[in-house]
Amino acid sequence: MQHFVDEAIIKVRSGKGGPGCVSFRREKFIPFGGPNGGDGGDGGSVIFQTKENLRTLYQLKLKRNFFAKNGQPGMGWQKSGKKGADIIIEVPPGTLVIDQETGELLKDLTFNDETFTLLKGGKGGLGNCHFATSTNQAPRYAQPGLPGKELTLKIELKLIADVGLVGFPNAGKSTLLSVLTKAQPKIANYPFTTLIPNLGVFTIADESFVMADIPGIIEGASNGVGLGIDFLKHIERTKMLLYIIDPEDSDFEQQYEKLKNELHTFSDKLINKPFLIAVSKMDLEDSETAVELLKEHLKQPVLTYSAVTHQGLKELLYKLKSIINRIENEQTQ
Ligand SMILES: Nc1nc2c(ncn2[C@@H]2O[C@H](COP(=O)(O)OP(=O)(O)OP(=O)(O)O)[C@@H](O)[C@H]2O)c(=O)[nH]1
Ligand SMILES: [Mg+2]
């Protein structure tokens, strides 16, 4: 199974500013040289950068502390200390940076190659050359550098897939992912087989799209029943949803409305997405009759397929592609 990490707790710290320097010119023929202490370098900052090729937060699990370097102290001859090196934290697009203590969302990093400075390094202190006055021409004082800042962060990754699969447990979501993509999710004939989201890439007419399979959703999920609702955040950013309806389920005709209800309680964003309804397991007996009843009940188009015989899969893929292409065209206009 694909290794999937969607949350990490890390500690970040920006660098301390280097202290300013106290120093005086001392040259052979200038016995009482003026102050020439240079400034301390600024501390390094904590910077986030998104990289499209990263798919998980796995690398944040390996290294939990991300500390920028301190600024160097100022030196004589008005030489400034070097700035401390920044720490750059690379994350996939779709990453949320949250203050672990307050729960405040600090940044939502959506796009590829986005850069965000979370904590600036402490300013370097001024050297004593700045403090000479007419009454004190030899100041023995320089500023200390300002401290860096430290935060504990919760980093959350919302998967960005084109299509999010939504269905009751056991509807056949993971099976669909496994026949359309190279992903190998766990499949079994009992509810709640899928415990973490799976991603796969499907290709149709030379175009590739990402499909996300999440745990099944049941009635009351939005009130914390079952597992599914925790994972709805992973499909909040998908371009579209694909509802998988299970013809084996006794609630067959009501499944779509029940699912929609749960999604609605979770977020309006989900419910306003373009969607498609597909009935799985068409190889089973009586599924044709069930679909006729469903179509009458829903009064909207319903696609059908079987992951066993592969009937209907091509049509399903073309339909998904055309909806995603339409959405993408609308977005670029
Ligand atoms: N006959 C038939 N069985 C199917 C088809 N698709 C899935 N199944 C079976 O349905 C059962 C559930 O499939 P899964 O893919 O694990 O269902 P799921 O929706 O991912 O379930 P959860 O992860 O529990 O939410 C398995 O026994 C599959 O073999 C199909 O098209 N035809
Ligand atoms: Mg599953």
CA–CA dist 55, 140 (Å, integer)? 54
For the cut 60, the answer to whether the pLDDT of residue 1 exceeds it is no
User: Which range of residues forms the domain containing residue 65?
Assistant: 1-157
Q: Return the residue matching tokens 């001859």.
A: 77
| Sheet (strand 46-50) strand order | 87-91, 46-50, 115-119
For the cut 60, the answer to whether the pLDDT of residue 196 exceeds it is yes
CATH value at residue 74: 2.70.210.12
Beta-carbon contacts of residue 207 (< 8 Å; ≥ 6 apart): 321, 325
Whether ligand 1 lies within 6 angstroms of the CB of 173 is answered as yes
Percent of the chain past pLDDT 70, that is, above it, reads: 93
How far, in Å, from the CA of 196 to the mean position of ligand 2? 9
CA–CA dist 15, 45 (Å, integer)? 6
Whether ligand 1 lies within 6 angstroms of the CB of 287 is answered as no
For the cut 90, the answer to whether the pLDDT of residue 218 exceeds it is no
Mean pLDDT comparison of 6-10, 175-179, 288-292, highest-scoring range: 175-179
Which of 130, 157, 184 terminates a domain? The answer is: 157
pLDDT of the residue at 290? 86
Clarify whether residues 232 and 174 are in a common domain. yes
Whether ligand 1 lies within 6 angstroms of the CB of 146 is answered as no
Are 152 and 100 in contact, with CB atoms under 8 Å apart? yes
* Residue owning the nearest CA to atom 8 of ligand 1: 172
Which of 157, 177, 199 terminates a domain? The answer is: 157
Clarify whether residues 234 and 101 are in a common domain. no
Clarify whether residues 303 and 190 are in a common domain. yes
Tokens representing 193?
Answer: 């087989």
Clarify whether residues 153 and 184 are in a common domain. no
- Count of domains in the chain? 2
How far, in Å, from the CA of 181 to the mean position of ligand 1? 15
Clarify whether residues 46 and 171 are in a common domain. no
Average pLDDT, rounded, for the chain: 88
How far, in Å, from the CA of 164 to the mean position of ligand 2? 12
CA–CA dist 239, 233 (Å, integer)? 13
pLDDT of the residue at 57? 81
* Residue owning the nearest CA to atom 2 of ligand 1: 281
